[in-house]
Amino acid sequence: MKPLVGIVMGSDSDWPVMQAAAAMLKEFGVPFEAKVVSAHRTPDLLFDYAAMAQERDLRAIIAGAGGAAHLPGMLAAKTIVPVLGVPVPSKHLNGLDSLLSIVQMPKGIPVATFAIGEAGAANAALTAIAIIATGNDDYGRALALKLVDFRARQSEKVMAMSLPGL
Ligand code: RP5
């Protein structure tokens, strides 16, 4: 199956975090691709990737970057495919810089922004899955059922929790 979700990141050093998005998509059986595309080191590649995204039928792009993290915003500037931004923890400011760079998009070009790090990457994948699950076709409906089941299993885990000593 052709990829429905693109995972892109500014460097291979982002992969340990972004793998959480890939793992979630794998768990739901959603076809995806993962690539390194740097906004400032490969700007032409970034433009080409974003410009082709809709034609390639990508339903969402999960973009992770750290530091002055302009990758998600620049992708969003060149495509109407939803861009889900994941702030990657940075060396000096622990990802607060990445978060603010991604979340503070000026009005008009949205980037849906997630938590810093692996939780954000996993939740970006769950959001991409939810976007595809809104499709009124067999694949979308099947994914929606899987999402409901995923939520139910989380609830069960919490209900089964007990506190030591009580
Ligand atoms: C950003 O710079 C990347 O997204 C990465 O988080 C950060 C550091 O990149 P490397 O120096 O590890 O390649 O572009």
* Nearest residue by C-alpha to atom 6 in ligand 1: 66
Distance from chain centroid for Cα 75: 13
Residue count of the chain, please give it: 166
Tell me: is residue 153 an annotated ligand-binding position.
no
The answer to whether 59 is annotated as binding is no
* CA dist., res. 77 & res. 31, Å (int): 24
Q: What is the pLDDT of residues 2-49, one digit of tens each?
A: 999 999 999 999 999 999 999 999 999 999 999 999 999 999 999 999
Tell me, what's the pLDDT at 105? 97
Angle of CA points 66, 67, 69, to nearest 5°: 70
Q: Which tokens is 1 given?
A: 């199956």
Query: pLDDT grade, residue 1 (50/70/90)?
Result: confident
Which residue of 11, 42, 96, 97 sits with most ligand 1 atoms within 8 Å of its CB, as the best mutation to test the pocket? Answer: 11
State the pTM of this model. 0.97
CA of 88 to the centre of ligand 1 (A): 9
Domains of the chain in start order, with CATH, are 5-160 (3.40.50.1970)
Rounded to two decimals, the ipTM of the complex is: 0.96
- 25-52 residues labelled b (16+ CB within 10 A) or e (exposed): beebebebebebbbbeeeeeebbebbee
Tens of pLDDT, residues 54-109: 999 999 999 999 999 999 999 999 999 999 999 999 999 999 999 999 999 999 99
